[in-house]
Amino acid sequence: MARSADDGDDDKRDPQAFVRSLSRGLAIIEALGRTPGRHTLAELAGATELNRAAARRVLLTLVELGYCQSNGKYFRLTPRTLGLGLAFLSGLPFWGYAQQVLEELRTEVEESCAMAVLDGSEILYIMRLPARRILATNLGIGSRLPAHAVSLGRVLLAGLQPDQLNSYLTRSTRQAFTSRTITDADALRTELSQVREQGYAWVEAELDPAICGLSVPIRDGERSVVAAISVNAIASSITEAEAQKRLLLPLRRAAEEIRARSPF
């Protein structure tokens, strides 16, 4: 079920600080961008769990502000909303440097490369450079994947503070996508401990049986994990041992270059 703009830990909210209308507006924008195409008022009200009157007021406000357009029945986002996402990317101290570094990495290893950050129980792609040989996907900037089932997510989860990791393991719903997907909390905790110790994550056929990935963290000046970068390949084309031998050093070198060039 979609998260309502009114959902959440109400007892933790400051009623003097929480702006319900802003919450509803952001929920509508997320709903409009979740699936491509145009959407009706009824669809958006259902997706955000708002009543139709509240959803209509929010939509008309977004139309007035230029973030949404409508023909009277259907609504869709305008290019102006792209500025909201770009504001986040532009604010990342490493994002401007990462494009060139990942392009060089892709050229060197001849595999798909990506960068992601953690957002709740999901990873959020902030850069992805596909290689021609990998299976075609529709992943790009802004795409999300479950953190527990991909190497980027394992690195990011391993970088959480103990209380943050405990909260994730308690609250997240971890789906099994293949027979190899680790979903058990204790098993995942053990896996993340190993990732933290060795400084990289290898995940094979846990989200997609045909895809494997190797990831390392991007750290800030205080050594906190702020992002992760990965190399992904067709699972049958490389083993973990071969990936460590061929990909790990270039991947770590790229991560260090991004860190060194970033004004953390």
pLDDT score, position 135: 52
The structure tokens listed for 207 are 């989200």
Provide the percentage of residues in the chain whose pLDDT is more than 70.
91
Residue 2 carries which DSSP code? P
Q: How far is CA 217 from CA 14, 52, 253, in A?
A: 35, 44, 11
Written as one letter, the residue type at 227 is A
CA distance 264 to 250: 22
Q: Which residue has the higher pLDDT, 29 or 193?
A: 193
Q: Helix-strand-coil percent breakdown of the chain, rounded to 5?
A: 50, 20, 35
Mind listing the pLDDT tens digit for each residue in 31-51?
A: 988 877 889 999 999 999 999
Average pLDDT, the chain: 88
With pLDDT > 90 as the criterion, what percentage of the chain qualifies?
67
DSSP-derived pairing of the beta strands 68-70 and 112-119: unpaired
Looking at residue 11, its pLDDT comes to 47
Residue with tokens 């846990």: 206
Output the pLDDT for position 42: 93
Alpha helices in the chain (DSSP H): 20-34, 41-48, 52-65, 82-91, 95-109, 151-158, 162-171, 185-198, 240-246, 248-261
Judged against a pLDDT cut of 50, whether residue 169 lies above it is answered with: yes
Average pLDDT over residues 188-211: 97
Q: Which domains does the chain have, with CATH numbers?
A: 10-84 (1.10.10.10), 92-261 (3.30.450.40)
Distance CA 24, CA 54 (A): 8
pTM summary value? 0.80
- Where does residue 43 rank: exposed (0-12), middle (13-18), buried (19+ CB within 10 A)? middle
Predicted local confidence at residue 236, as pLDDT = 87
Q: By three-state DSSP, how is residue 92 classified?
A: coil
Q: What's the pLDDT band for 10 if we cut at 50, 70, 90?
A: very low
Enumerate the β-bridge partners of residue 202.
214
Under 8 Å between Cβ of 142 and 85: yes
Question: pLDDT digit string (tens) for 113-154?
Answer: 999 999 999 999 999 998 866 555 677 888 899 999 999 999
What's residue 209's pLDDT?
A: 94
pLDDT for residue 7 = 42
Residue 180: strand, helix, or coil: coil
